[in-house]
Structure 1
Amino acid sequence: MERGLVLVEQTVDHLDLLAEAVEHALGADADLVLLATITHDQFEDDTQMLETIGHLENTSYDTSSVLDRAVADVRSFVADEIPDDVDVTIVARATDDPGQALLDVGDEHGCDHAFVLGSHRSPTGKALFGDVAQQVALNFDGYVTLATQ
């Protein structure tokens, strides 16, 4: 692994997944890319709120401030989880398809290993199900580590 990619949501399960990715990164002297996603509805709501605040303050806020806030939230959430010797890039995307966003960010950043949470196992216990997990497992061009919630 040269560069791992982790879809990060602010849950304990995602911290566990991140810990596994960090362990891989330390062992392989690799970098990590963390992806934060917000829905298009969240993005629009937050953008409208910033426009309202900007109007009240007689200033303006760029829509990139919404994504910057998502990056800052992830940075704060993972601050104690990542050692200084692991290089980390945090990327935020507004999307209603986090699986596709993960695939796109993986391509853009040259990631060769993705870490994803799946929702549950199949009745036989062999396959992980969940829209994002399946999409990434089937379409990511590299290794995929799937964990269950």
Structure 2
Amino acid sequence: MHRSLAVVDDTDVHRELLAEAARLARGSDGEVVLFTTMTAEEFDSDTEKIESIERAEGTTYSDTSALDGARKVAREVAEEVFADLDWDVEYEVVAQVVEEGDRADAILDAASEYDCQHVFVVGRKRSPTGKVLFGDTAQQVILNFDGMVTITTE
């Protein structure tokens, strides 16, 4: 079975890329792993917000509530994209906390762990100097993934 990893975020560009991953899955009788990340800072911020809600409502959420929220957003994006298709898409959602500069490694590790043959990722438009100074996740994935990579830019 063919398996693709699609990096998902709540943007139109990511929706378009996810639709492409779904078309490939249909043509290859495969499935899509939806991969979403949040930085440690985003995780901490979301966790603080959840704890604030807990105090106000007198409720308790699990320690993974911030990651659960990220998974939920990825599922909602997928359901929106897949609802417009004439076929069912098999998928699973994976969310992970990563350090800012480690996003490409996290994508590559997840693609390896889930035995993916194809990676779909959105890249940023940056100047060559910007890529050298700040790195480029999409470029690192292209250079280090042993398989097909489809990239679109924001």
Q: Which TM-score applies when normalising by structure 1?
A: 0.84
Distance (Å, rounded) in 1 between the aligned partners of 2:152 and 2:55: 45
Select which of 106, 109, 124 maps to 1:119: 124
Query: Which residue is equivalent to 1:146?
Result: 151
What CA distance in whole angstroms lies between the structure 2 residues aligned with 1:48 and 1:121?
A: 32
Deviation sequence 1:59-110 (CA, Å, 0-9, x none): 5322211101111111112213125522101111111232121111111111
Unaligned 5+ runs, structure 1: 124-129
Secondary structure of the residue aligned to 2:62 is coil
SS of corresponding position for 2:146: coil
Name which of 137, 141, 144 aligns with 1:132.
Answer: 137
Letter of the aligned partner of 1:22 in structure 2? A
* Aligned amino acid, residue 94 of structure 1: V
Say whether 1:41 aligns with 2:41.
yes
| Mapped pair 1:20 → 2:23 | no
- How far did 1:119 drift? 2.3
CA distance in 2, matches of 1:28, 1:6: 15
Q: Say if 1:47 and 1:66, in contact at 8 Å, map to a contact too.
A: yes
Report what 1:107 is aligned to: 112
In 1, distance between residues paired with 2:45 and 2:149? 33
CA distance, structure 2, for counterparts of residue 122 and residue 55 of structure 1: 46
Q: Is the 8 A contact 1:29 1:86 kept in 2?
A: no
Preserved CA contact (<8 Å) 1:33 1:90 = yes
Contact 1:10–1:77 (8 Å) recurs in 2: yes
Shift of 1:122: 7.4
Paired amino acid for 1:4: S
**More helix by percentage:** 2
TM-score by length of structure 2 reads: 0.81
CA–CA distance in structure 1, aligned partners of residues 22 and 112 of structure 2: 20
**1:126 matched to which residue of 2?**
none
Provide the rounded CA distance (Å) in 1 between the counterparts of 2:153 and 2:59. 45
Gaps of 5+ in 2: 129-134
Pairwise mapping of residues 65-84 of structure 1 onto structure 2 (< 5 A)?
Answer: 65-82=65-82, 83=85
Q: Aligned-pair distance for 1:53? A: 3.3
Residues of 1 paired with 2:116 and 2:122: CA distance? Answer: 17
Q: For residue 148 of structure 1, report the CA deviation from its aligned partner.
A: 2.7
Alignment length (residue pairs): 143
